């Protein structure tokens, strides 16, 4: 099973959003957000903005590596 992790970690006076893909690649926001909810929403929106990455998850070779 493939898993994409959305997370929020403390940074400065807020939280930074991160998207982690099954292959270990992580993409973090440059911005910080005042709440965990806002950081998680930003991570989800960032993920939706990467359709090529999401489409790659459906390729047979993506399933073979997990």
Question: What is the tens place of the pLDDT at every residue in 10-52?
Answer: 999 999 999 998 888 898 888 999 999 999 999 888 888 888 9
Domain count, the chain: 1
Residue 39 lies inside a defined structural domain of this protein: yes
pLDDT of residue 63: 56
pLDDT of residue 30: 86
**How far is the C-alpha of 10 from the C-alpha of 21, rounded, in Å?**
20
pLDDT of residue 62: 57
Residue 66 lies inside a defined structural domain of this protein: no
H or E stretch including 10? strand 5-11
Residue 40 lies inside a defined structural domain of this protein: yes
State the residue range of the domain holding 21: 5-61
Q: What is the pTM of this model?
A: 0.74
């Amino acid at each position: 099973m493939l898993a994409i992790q959305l997370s929020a970690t403390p940074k400065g006076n807020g939280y930074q959003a991160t998207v982690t893909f099954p292959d270990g690649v992580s993409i973090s926001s440059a911005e910080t957000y005042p709440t965990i909810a806002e950081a998680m929403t930003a991570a989800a929106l960032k993920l939706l903005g990467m359709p090529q990455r999401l489409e790659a998850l459906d390729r047979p070779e993506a399933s073979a590596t997990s």
